[in-house]
Amino acid sequence: MAEFKQSTKLHNVLYDIRGPVLEQAQKMESEGHRILKLNIGNPAPFGFEAPDAILVDMIRHLPHAQGYSDSRGIFSARTAVVQYYQTRGIHTIHVDDVYLGNGVSELITLSLMALLDTGDEVLVPTPDYPLWTASVSLAGGRPVHYLCDEENEWWPDLEDLAAKITPRTKGLVIINPNNPTGAVYPPHIIAGMVDLARKHGLIVFSDEIYEKILYDGTEFTNTAAITGDDVLCMTFSGLSKAYRICGYRSGWLAISGPKAAAADYLEGINLLANMRMCANVPGQHAIQTALGGHQSIEDLILPGGRLREQRDLAYRMLNDIPGVSVNQAKGALYLFPRLDPEIYPIKSDEKFALDLLQQQKILISHGTAFNWIRPDHFRLVTLPSVLDLEEAVGRIGEFLSTYKP
């Protein structure tokens, strides 16, 4: 019988946050073990529900959402996205500059597929949300990782970024607020990155899915508010996190900047958008209601709010574990703790995650899964309740007290 193998296009494509450690957790669950999952930013399993207004609006539109929509997305939802960015001081995005997608993930892959030829380079942060690295590789490009500095609030190191630009560099990825670190970049950092993109003729890809999840009064700056008219900016956002509807797959890409100069590239995006017919139509109907209604996320991030309290507890408890340190997250749903290599000389952080899973039934994501450069970090999701987080971090501390890599 003929043997069938995966495409060679996948040889450099990795997505380890859903890799061997998760597979082992699923195997253990099938054997009857209860696994406390701190690995994926999926609000629903932790009791976070979608706002009622979104559910009602989607249900009302279901009878009219059975056919394909415009390949870009329904007009009312794209108009709502345009109006949202107008409230943010961005007035160069028009209805036809907005593409709705099955979550941001689909649109990231689509936008890179339309751009990259074999060997083209894209600057991606380390650590990163690994879909960016994987999608660059899948599109035939080469991800080049620029450093985010843990000792400086996990902000991008602009000197390191500048040093990695070559004649093959096509784009620059900004993940802000950042997954996995929780960093939120101030305007001067974004401006420095945009200046480099302007100088070298790069497209900016700005992943802003966590823009509404901010703590301690932290201000957020949309990259498109800084890029202006002379830097092409691809802004990605959606409803998955702030509105707790990951499963509805409702995201968007909004394009700003010198679109005339990018006409051929944008035609490629339009071609790929047409090929997938359209995004999930019921999910599109959630966008107008979500962006225009009460922003319930604000109740969760203020002092006393559930997300804020969970973040604070995990931060305190992690820093209390000998040999563990972590920067406080200013946004998003994660902490990215460091394990002191003098105390924990870990050679494989994937093995560390597997050992923790097998001994304590706790599932975390290892740091190198986010393309971090050393096996000395892990990502912890702060979505579980205070009681569950207290138990989980306590068990992590117990595990580390006797762990011998």
Q: What is the pLDDT along the chain (405 residues), one digit of tens a residue?
A: 888 777 777 777 666 656 788 888 889 889 998 988 898 888 888 888 888 888 888 888 888 888 889 999 999 999 999 999 999 999 999 999 999 999 999 999 999 999 999 999 999 999 999 999 999 999 999 999 999 999 999 999 999 999 999 999 999 999 999 999 999 999 999 999 999 999 999 999 999 999 999 999 999 999 999 998 899 999 999 999 988 888 888 999 999 999 999 999 999 999 999 999 989 899 999 999 999 878 889 999 999 999 999 999 999 999 999 999 999 999 999 999 999 999 999 999 999 999 999 999 999 999 999 999 999 999 999 999 999 999 999 999 999 999 887
- The token pair at 222 is 């949309």
Task: List CB contacts of 289: < 8 A, sequence separation 6 or more.
Answer: 53, 54, 57
- Helix (H), strand (E) at residue 156: strand 155-156
Amino acid letter, residue 331: G
127 three-state secondary structure: coil
Which stretch of DSSP H or E encloses residue 237?
Answer: strand 233-238
Cα 235 to Cα 82: distance, rounded to the nearest angstrom: 12
Judged by DSSP in three states, 6 sits in coil
- CA 147 vs. chain centroid, Å, equals 17
Q: How many CB atoms lie within 10 A of CB 134?
A: 23
Rounded to whole angstroms, the Cα distance separating 365 from 25 reads 12
Q: Give the C-alpha separation, 198 to 275, whole Å.
A: 32
Question: CA 388 to CA 362: how far, in whole Å?
Answer: 11
Kindly report, residue by residue over 94-152, the tens digit of the pLDDT. 999 999 999 999 999 999 999 999 999 999 999 999 999 999 999 999 999 999 999 99
pLDDT at site 47:
86
Residue in the block written with tokens 């909004």: 254
Domains within the chain, CATH numbers bracketed:
8-48+299-402 (3.90.1150.10), 52-292 (3.40.640.10)
Q: Are 268 and 115 in contact (CB under 8 A)?
A: yes
Q: What is the dihedral of CA 217, 327, 135, 101, to 10 degrees?
A: -20
User: What pLDDT sits at residue 48?
Assistant: 87
Distance between CA atoms of 319 and 317, rounded to whole angstroms?
Answer: 5
Give the pLDDT score at 15: 66
